[in-house]
Amino acid sequence: MRGIQIAFIFFAVISGCTKKATSIPAVPATTVTKTTMTDSLTYLALGDSYTIGEAVSQDQSFPYQLSHALIIDGLSVMHPVIIARTGWTADNLINAIAASSIINEKFDFVTLLIGVNDQFQGLSQDNYKVKFAQVLNTAINFAHGDTTRVFVLSIPDYGVTPFAGGNDSIIGPQIDQFNAINKSISQKAGVSYLDIIDISRQAANDPALIAPDGLHPSGKMYRLWIQRLESLVAARLKK
């Protein structure tokens, strides 16, 4: 019974606390300001609360930190176009992309992180296999069909956060199962896959890695992601 109560509270937070549209675009996700530099690289970020940076400022979200890191590395990168919202499953993301006005646009690179809400809402892993493969194919299409320009991130383990209420022994293994699915599909598709679950689990011993809401990553944790992701993305973009 206690586990059900914890899950209900978690769902209320993960689905009800969303960024304002003025800071992160929802659907359609085309309100991000674009630079007039025609040679700048375009970036599309697809996902859920981990992509919009729930509970942290916009500049601390991982897509914005990635863009900034790439600029420091000498690349000209536009602000990211983001299709993401707290609480979204892979199905929700697919529907949002279809409803957006960028469906026929192309981008120089794309990141994808989706699946925590599939696990949390108790959706089947078989459904996730089908829907993750679908949204990954869409991401590849957005990247001109170039698999080397698509970057999938693993699902973080929220089981170590205060909001999980000590249910890490249940949540962690389930997250691992969903990550085994998205990793296998990503590798078969030939896209880059970045496993950040070990970083997320460091939050068990470092509260500074968790945002003030007690659930989502802090800007500090996202910086640790970027230390791995930036070099991977830069290497592909500079080829």
Confidence at residue 239, expressed as pLDDT on a 0 to 100 scale: 86
Confidence at residue 108, expressed as pLDDT on a 0 to 100 scale: 98
- Grouping H, G, I as helix, E, B as strand and the rest as coil, residue 96 is helix
Answer whether residue 29 shows pLDDT above 80: no
- Would you say the pTM of this structure is higher than 0.75? yes
Q: Which amino acid would we find at residue 38?
A: T
C-alpha to C-alpha distance for 218 and 212, rounded to whole angstroms: 8
- Contact predicate 195/154, CB 8 Å: yes
Confidence at residue 38, expressed as pLDDT on a 0 to 100 scale: 53
Confidence at residue 228, expressed as pLDDT on a 0 to 100 scale: 97
Confidence at residue 39, expressed as pLDDT on a 0 to 100 scale: 81
Tokens 């536009």 sit at which residue?
78
Question: How far lies 1's CA from each of 5, 14, 192, in Å?
Answer: 6, 20, 41
- Contact predicate 89/121, CB 8 Å: yes
Answer whether residue 9 shows pLDDT above 70: no
pLDDT in tens, 85-137: 999 999 999 999 999 999 999 999 999 999 999 999 999 999 999 999 999 99
Q: How many domains does the chain have?
A: 1
- Interval 162-170 mean pLDDT: 97
- Interval 4-11 mean pLDDT: 35
Answer whether residue 80 shows pLDDT above 80: yes
C-alpha to C-alpha distance for 185 and 178, rounded to whole angstroms: 11
Structural domain span for residue 53: 2-237
CATH of residue 197's domain is 3.40.50.1110
Answer whether residue 180 shows pLDDT above 90: yes
Answer whether residue 74 shows pLDDT above 70: yes
User: Average model confidence (pLDDT) for the chain?
Assistant: 88
